[in-house]
Amino acid sequence: MKNRSCTWLSAYLCAALSLTGCGEPEPSQAGNQEQTDAAPDLGGDAGLDADALLDPDLGTDVGWDSETSEVVEELAFLPRFSVSATDFFGLPWPLDSRIGDGGHPMLGDFPRPTGLVDPFVDVVEAGVVGYALNPVVYFGFDRLPEAEALPSAEQTLSGSSPVGIIELSDGGCGEHVPVELRVWREGDDYVAPSTLALSPPPGIVLKPNTTYAAFVTADFGGTNQTLVAPEFELVMTGQSESDELTTAFAPFIDCIETGGLGGSTIAVATVFTTGDPASELDAMLDVALEEPLSWEETEWVSVPAADRPHGVASRTTIVRIPMFMSGEAPYTTGGAIGFDESGRPMVQRFDEVPVYVAWPQDYEGDLPVVLWLSGTGGNWKSSLTYQVLRALLQSGVAVVSFDAQFHGARNASGADPSLATFNYINPAAGRNTLRQEALEALYLLHLLDQGGTLFEGGPTLAPGTTPVLGHSQGALVAALVAGGDREERSYVLGATCGHTAVSVLTRTEPFDIRAVLEGTFEAELDRFHPLMALLQMGTEVSDPLSSVRRWSGDSETPADHLFLINGDADHYVTRECADALLLATGYPAVEPQGWVPSFGSLWEQEELALPIADNSGLPNGGSSTNAAIMVSGGDHFLIDEHPLTISLATNFTLSAIDGSPSLDLYCPAIDLADHETV
């Protein structure tokens, strides 16, 4: 590998580091050719027939009068808790007694004033197992206290908080989870009047396959101001006629009996168990690897010189990869991933996936290799214009990529790549496209890690763990890949974030998604709204937050090394969404490019000076290299356009190839003439 040391560029990049925000380079060729992505795209029809969903008369009676909200002048607040209630808010949500066959949430009474809601409800009832890792909890009341009586997120961590969420450990109470509160005094077609909602701040992710309790004490709204719900008291005293409720609340009763919650009188509570959205990708990979591939089975075709940079050789081949999504692209119908009675995911067909490799023509010996995952609308030709990939090629590294669904040769239907990928007209497909792409990446990584000669007279790839770099949609996919990976690997994630609901509500490019949703569903939306809670629950299988805990490894799986790149002027990956991913990871910021997330006292951002290596302690006693950067004034294409982020990403990847991932300034033999000093 070529020498990477030079002091002049280090000084140049250090200057760039301190002056970031003084100017923004013009978008590169790759930036102009790619559509931006990284959050679900709504709007347009992309040839999808949604007429069957647009009849407002298909809705059902919500069970309350949303036009009236008379405040009852009483001395106390009474929670709703009724087994016989016919509306969604008659019992708390989520609640383990509201789980049906197969572990799927039961949403038969979910408010549906329009038929547009039905497909989203159907997807959750058929495809989601367990409750969300980023849930919204709902308690109904006869009336609610004033806003000044509600605790802050920091205050809900106290054992004396009148409201909160706790983990239920074996035989007792576990740790408190901070929550933010939202009240509806007046209802609408989706929320009953006098409803209290609580949810962990975005980035506080619950543990998978874990039971939690959300509670409200008698001191909610003031000392002894909240009455105990009568039917809830029957459950807590073992007198309920509902076996389902008795079973659901057993771990919470154990918590109370061991002195949990400081002996507070509980007015109402709910008990719910989270699912593990990332686990289905594990099962998909197990099935896919039952028929592993070798390079000997492939035929390579040369890529025209016009489609590759000078001094770079490139060839393409076809790899048959298992497809788990039902139906046919662009999935106007179908798109679900099916499982048999034993829980085994079912292969629907095999897709012929174009795979590309580029390598320096003057290479010597075995070549290390990286996997590149493109953004929405990207292709092999546009990818090779990225400066970070050119730096790697000029350092003697081969680059491999493949066409995702609806891209390149896999877009025979001519569908819009963005609308087809983030398919919200058909949510059954929309929730699965990214994890199908993650499966394809994992399948190829298994092959790339083995190394080997690609074809007679061609380059030989060195065996070893293949670093992954992804931009935008590719970074979303890389985040899922890191969660499903079984090897220690380095990842560069450019322009990505976490928490689907936050992304949808805050993203304003290429259009204001929130405004479109509010106009469509005739509701004022925030992340506490039932529609957004439903959206979050249904899409967590493709939300990076569902994979974050896995990045640190466990006793059986090694940890990964990750470098996150974002810009605070990116209108496609918003600051709020990037903050959520940062909080979930706990990664330090590259000094002095740290940022101050709006987390209050929940977490204090740490900044580390370069070089950064082995800075994260792991559960198994080891360490990994992890950091994040938020470039002031930076836009969506920092991994290609910004000298500092190009330098850090290149060094991080090359040092990972050398066996010791670290973040430091890289001095490449690369033409940065297209970039102005920032």
CA 240 from centroid of its chain's CA atoms: 39
Task: Report the 10 Å Cβ neighbour count for 560.
Answer: 25
Residue 666 counted as domain residue = no
Distance CA 616, CA 92 (A): 39
The verdict on 121 and 144 lying in the same domain is yes
Model confidence pLDDT, tens digit, residues 332-351:
999 999 999 898 999 999 99
**Lowest-confidence pick of 150-164, 414-428, 565-579, 645-659:** 414-428
| CATH code of residue 400 | 3.40.50.1820
Q: What is the DSSP string of 6-26?
A: -HHHHHHHHHHHHHTTS--PP
Is residue 411 scored above 70 in pLDDT? yes
> Which residue has 């992804």 as its token pair?
470
Q: Is 268 among the domain residues?
A: yes
**Which residue, chain included where needed, has tokens 């200057």?**
15
pLDDT surpassing 70 at residue 171: no
What pLDDT band is residue 73 in, cutting at 50, 70 and 90? very low
Q: Are residues 466 and 420 in the same domain?
A: yes
- What is the predicted pLDDT for the residue at 13? 36
Q: What percent of the chain has pLDDT over 70?
A: 85
Are both 331 and 400 inside the same structural domain?
yes
Closest among 71, 134, 82 to 109, alpha carbons compared: 82
pLDDT, mean of residues 53-72: 45
Of 395, 404, 392, 313, residue with least CA distance to 357: 313
SS3 sequence, 264-301? CCEEEEEEEEECCCCHHHHHHHHHHCCCCCCHHHCCCE
Task: Say how far apart CA 299 and CA 318 lie, in whole Å.
Answer: 7
- Residue 673 included in any domain: no
Which of 146-160, 228-242, 480-494 is predicted with the least confidence, judged by mean pLDDT? 146-160
The Cα–Cα gap between 186 and 236 comes to 30
In this prediction, residues 394-414 reach a mean pLDDT of 93
Tell me if 252 is assigned to some domain.
yes
Greater model confidence, 672 or 467: 467
Tell whether the model's pLDDT for residue 75 goes beyond 70. no
pLDDT at res. 67? 46
Is the CA virtual torsion 415, 416, 418, 424 positive or negative?
negative
- Give me the chain's average pLDDT, please: 86
DSSP lists the bridge partners of residue 357 as 315, 400
Q: Helices 473-484 and 433-448: crossing angle, nearest 10°?
A: 60
Same domain for 257 and 297, yes or no, is: no
372 shares its domain with 340: yes
Report the distance separating Cα 427 and Cα 539, nearest Å: 9
**How open is the CA angle 335-580-274, to the nearest 5 degrees?**
60
Residue 64 pLDDT: 56
Of the candidate ranges 94-98, 396-400, 422-426, the one whose mean pLDDT is the lowest: 422-426
Q: Please check the confidence at residue 1 and state whether its pLDDT lies above 90.
A: no
Per DSSP (E only), the strands in 375-476 are 398-402, 452-453, 460-461, 468-471
Bridge-based pairing state of the strands 301-302 and 312-323: antiparallel
Check residue 591 and give its pLDDT.
Answer: 84
In a domain, 17, yes or no: yes
Give the pLDDT of residue 61: 54
Q: At CA 467, angle to CA 463 and CA 468, rounded to 5? A: 135
- CA 74 vs CA 138, 143, 227: distances in Å: 22, 9, 11
What order of strands is seen across the sheet that includes strand 301-302?
Answer: 301-302, 312-323, 349-360, 398-402, 369-373, 468-471, 490-494, 561-567, 626-631, 589-590, 607-608
Lowest mean pLDDT among 29-33, 398-402, 544-548, 640-644: 29-33
Residue 409 — left, alpha, or beta (φ > 0 → left; ψ -120 to 50 → alpha)?
alpha
Are 37 and 79 found together in one domain?
no
Is there a single domain that holds both residue 294 and residue 259?
no
Q: How many CB atoms lie within 10 A of CB 644?
A: 25
The answer to whether residue 600 scores a pLDDT higher than 70 is no
CA distances from 107 to 66, 123, 137, 147 (A): 20, 11, 14, 30
637 falls within a domain: yes
Query: Where does residue 585 fall: left (phi above 0), alpha (psi -120 to 50 degrees), or beta otherwise?
Result: alpha
Count of alpha carbons within 13 angstroms of residue 475, beta-carbon side: 26
**Residue of 354, 284, 370 lying closest to 319 (CA atoms):** 354
Assess whether 613 and 556 both reside in one domain.
Answer: yes
Q: What is the pLDDT of residue 667?
A: 65
Does 87 lie in the same domain as 118? yes
Q: Which domain holds residue 126?
A: 64-273
Residues 11 and 74 in one domain: no
How many whole angstroms separate alpha carbon 91 and alpha carbon 79? 9
Q: Write down the pLDDT at residue 262.
A: 77
* One-character DSSP codes across 113-145: SSGGGHHHHHHHHHH--SB-SS--EEEEBSS--
| pLDDT at residue 669 tops 70 | no
- Dist CA 626 CA 623 (whole Å): 10
Q: Pick the last residue of a domain from 246, 273, 300.
A: 273
- Strand 623-624 versus strand 616-617 pairing type: antiparallel
How does residue 595 score in pLDDT terms, banded at 50, 70 and 90?
Answer: low
Q: Who has greater pLDDT, 390 or 74?
A: 390
Adjacency order of strands within the sheet including 195-199? 137-140, 195-199, 180-184
Domain stop point among 273, 291, 324: 273
pLDDT at 23: 34
- How many domains does the chain divide into? 2
With respect to residue 527, please indicate whether it lies within any of the assigned structural domains: no
Q: How confident is the model at residue 545 (pLDDT cuts 50, 70, 90)?
A: very high
Contacts of 398 (CB under 8 A, 6+ apart): 357, 358, 359, 363, 367, 368, 369, 370, 459, 461
**What's the confidence (pLDDT) of residue 403?**
95
pLDDT tens-digit readout, 248-269:
999 999 988 887 787 789 999 9
16-61 tens-digit pLDDT: 333 333 333 333 333 333 444 433 333 333 333 333 333 334 455 5
Q: Is there a domain that residue 641 lies in?
A: yes
Beta strands in 507-604 (DSSP E): 561-567, 589-590
pTM: 0.88
Q: Do 205 and 190 fall into the same domain?
A: yes
Judgement on whether residues 349 and 478 belong to the same structural domain of the protein: yes
Instruction: Point out the least confidently predicted range of 142-156, 519-533, 652-666.
Output: 142-156
Which of 250, 273, 296 represents a domain boundary (last residue)? 273
Spatial neighbors of 62 by CB under 8 A, at least 6 apart, are: 87, 88, 111, 112, 113, 189, 190, 192
Rounded CA separation 578/658 (Å)? 30
Q: Is 296 exposed, middle or buried (0-12, 13-18, 19+ CB in 10 A)?
A: exposed
- What's the gap between Cα 501 and its chain centre? 10
Mean pLDDT of 434-454: 96
pLDDT at 4 over 60: no
The answer to whether the beta carbons of residues 513 and 504 sit under 8 Å apart is yes
Confidence of residue 514 (pLDDT cuts 50, 70, 90): very high
Is residue 567 predicted with pLDDT exceeding 80? yes
